Chains A and B, each alone.
Chain A
Amino acid sequence: MKSFRYERASNIASACASVAQPAAKFIAGGTNLVDLMKLQIEVPDHLVDISRLPLNGIEETPDGGLRIGALVTNSAAAIDLRVRRRYPLLAQAILAGASTQLRNKATTGGNLLQRTRCAYFYDTTKPCNKRVPGSGCAALEGLNRMNAVLGVSDDCIAAHPSDMAVAMTALDAVVETVAPDGSSRSISIDSLYRPPGNTPHIETVLAPGELIVSVLLPPAPAGRQVYRKVRDRASYAFALVSVAAILDLDGNRVRSARVAFGGLSYKPWRSAEAEAALVGAPAARAAFDAAGAAALRNAHGYGRNDFKIPLARRTLRATLTQAVGLS
């Protein structure tokens, strides 16, 4: 690990000002950043510890939603009874990720901003445009089994690894930030992440020193919520494909539907196409398969991850079937 200067932030404004400087980074849970610093993939010369800032509460909002502080640990969010009762999808997704030890340390803001687990991002002996801009992408022709099939470019096919963010995307969550100049803004989670294009090293729309302070969950939509994750082993593994679905039925017909996929893209992939295919249709296999086909129409495999395309369609069908079965 490269040497760095350590600063314990005493307030949000000073933390943002410090991190607006080049080569400075926020650290909260550190479960991803410390790992990357050991490998010298991340080499900050100044670490600003925000873990003691008062951003660890979960509050009710006037309209019946919840505001989750950026420093709320993944465990704390998943065990909160309001989250479990009103947003079971989110509790399930968080509990699907990592291990209890990691969830006890990892934070809400950090989870959103974790880096990809693409093997070539981690392997410093191989080219990676995300790690070293302009060096190339070893995943294109390499072991790309875990990589993305939607929305990526030939410069980078890395997938976003979060489960939590997939559920938040289906819930229309809003990311709230504070910038070094003191201004605050709200960013829909779907527009937080930048498509890789030819600048895959720039992953979000956040400016230098801009700090995520909370995530706003609008009131829970009507319908049954299900998070389903498919992975190589039963626990403690990243998703090959995951689906967050919210299905509201009117008798046997779909009144409204929300669908987001994990493991398929540089961000949690909300599929308006799948949702359109579901609304108004009988809640049965024909509509579920049509939704899957619509969602994956523009998908592109890179060899070893071709299987993700049919797997995503089948996982969507299984998730929606499970949702219909709930009472």
Chain B
Amino acid sequence: MTDFLKLQSKATRRGFLKTTGAATLVLASPPAVGEAAAQTASLPTEHVALKINGRPYAVDLDPRTTLLDALREHFGLTGSKKGCDQGQCGACTILVNGQRINSCLALAVMHDGDEITTIEGLAEEGALDPMQAAFVRHDGFQCGYCTPGQICSAVALLAEHKAGWPSYVTTDVAIAPALSDAEIAERMSGNICRCSAYPNIVAAIREVAGEDRQ
């Protein structure tokens, strides 16, 4: 399939992925919802209301449900990926009240009332977010599984840098550093890419950061 995808133009490839994503969602949703309903019949639930990508969502959840599982299994938002499910890979990275977190280590019930942005919320009216477009331009992925997390992380990284956050590689933590490649790499270390698209990911982020500065 990878070879097949490589032959497609970028526009076709996105269209193909979009169609595939929608089809998967249709197939996956009924059993997942059914399962959740069976679980909640016998166990205590908590009401959780969230604002996701600007839209309100509400559901009664087993309190064990992570934010990641709530997004994927209950709200059909499968853009956020489950990689390690233990906070090591970053594939589940989303923004909660503007800050990036690992949604696999967050209990959904603890985020009642919070505002969430997932990869689905970055593209407005079908137009890609500048970071998404830069990842496409720089080929910042191969298999694409870690990509939603990488992009959410990268979007937050720019906001953190703009706010003057230092990092471990900042020479003097009292002074807001310039966004060198070393700074980008350090700030992205919570997102693992096993295809090792790192140089292209750094290039994509560097480019968007440069646009921001102008």
Complex contacts, A5 vs chain B, CB 8 Å: 44, 63
**Interface check A205, CB cutoff 8 A:** no
Q: Is the pair B101, A104 in contact by a Cβ cutoff of 8 Å?
A: yes
CB within 8 Å of B: which A46-71 residues: 47, 49, 51
A1, A84, A105: the one contacting B174 at CB < 8 Å is: A84
CB within 8 Å of B: which A3-19 residues: 3-6
Q: Is the pair A105, B166 in contact by a Cβ cutoff of 8 Å?
A: no
Q: Is the pair A88, B173 in contact by a Cβ cutoff of 8 Å?
A: yes
**Interface check A191, CB cutoff 8 A:** no
Chain B, interface residues (CB within 8 Å), range? 35 or more
Complex contacts, A75 vs chain B, CB 8 Å: 99, 165
Q: Is the pair B107, A35 in contact by a Cβ cutoff of 8 Å?
A: no
Q: Is the pair A105, B102 in contact by a Cβ cutoff of 8 Å?
A: yes
B residues apposed to A, CB below 8 Å: 43-44, 46, 62-64, 66, 85-87, 90, 93, 99-102, 105-107, 109-110, 153, 156-157, 160, 163-168, 170, 172-174, 185-187, 189-191
Q: Which of A26-34, A153-161, A302-310 contacts B (4 or more CB under 8 A)?
A: A26-34
8 chain-A/chain-B pairs, Cβ below 8 angstroms: A5-B63, A6-B46, A34-B106, A49-B110, A104-B99, A105-B105, A235-B168, A235-B189
Q: Is the pair B190, A6 in contact by a Cβ cutoff of 8 Å?
A: no
Contacts beyond the supplied A6-B46, A37-B64, A234-B186: 20 A-B pairs with Cβ under 8 Å: A3-B62, A6-B63, A30-B106, A34-B107, A35-B86, A35-B105, A51-B110, A79-B163, A88-B172, A88-B173, A95-B170, A100-B100, A100-B187, A101-B90, A101-B93, A102-B190, A104-B101, A234-B189, A235-B185, A235-B186
Given A31-B102, A101-B153, A236-B190, A92 and B168 touching (CB < 8 A)? yes
A residues apposed to B, CB below 8 Å: 1, 3-6, 27, 30-31, 34-35, 37-38, 47, 49, 51, 75, 78-79, 81, 84-85, 88, 91-92, 95-96, 98-102, 104-105, 234-236
Q: How far is the CB of A6 from chain B (nearest CB, A)?
A: 4
- For the residues of B in contact with A, the DSSP-based class is loop
A79, A98, A234: the one contacting B165 at CB < 8 Å is: A79
Complex contacts, B165 vs chain A, CB 8 Å: 75, 78-79
Complex contacts, B86 vs chain A, CB 8 Å: 35, 38
Complex Cα distance, B60 from A316, in Å, reads: 53
B43, B64, B106, B168: the one contacting A95 at CB < 8 Å is: B168
Q: Is the pair A6, B109 in contact by a Cβ cutoff of 8 Å?
A: yes
Q: How far is the CB of B165 from chain A (nearest CB, A)?
A: 5
Complex contacts, A49 vs chain B, CB 8 Å: 109-110
Q: How far is the CB of B162 from chain A (nearest CB, A)?
A: 12
Q: How far is the CB of B122 from chain A (nearest CB, A)?
A: 17
Q: Is the pair A27, B110 in contact by a Cβ cutoff of 8 Å?
A: yes
Q: Is the pair A27, B163 in contact by a Cβ cutoff of 8 Å?
A: no
Chain A residue nearest to B109 (CB atoms) is A6
Complex contacts, A1 vs chain B, CB 8 Å: 64
Complex contacts, B105 vs chain A, CB 8 Å: 30-31, 34-35, 102, 105
Q: Is the pair A79, B164 in contact by a Cβ cutoff of 8 Å?
A: yes
Q: How far is the CB of A29 from chain B (nearest CB, A)?
A: 8
Question: Which residue among A4, A100, A235 has the maximum number of chain B CB atoms within 10 Å of its CB?
Answer: A100
Complex contacts, B164 vs chain A, CB 8 Å: 79
Chain B residue nearest to A39 (CB atoms) is B86
Complex Cα distance, B153 from A47, in Å, reads: 29
Complex contacts, A95 vs chain B, CB 8 Å: 166-168, 170, 173
Complex contacts, A98 vs chain B, CB 8 Å: 190
Complex Cα distance, B174 from A85, in Å, reads: 5
Complex Cα distance, B37 from A34, in Å, reads: 23
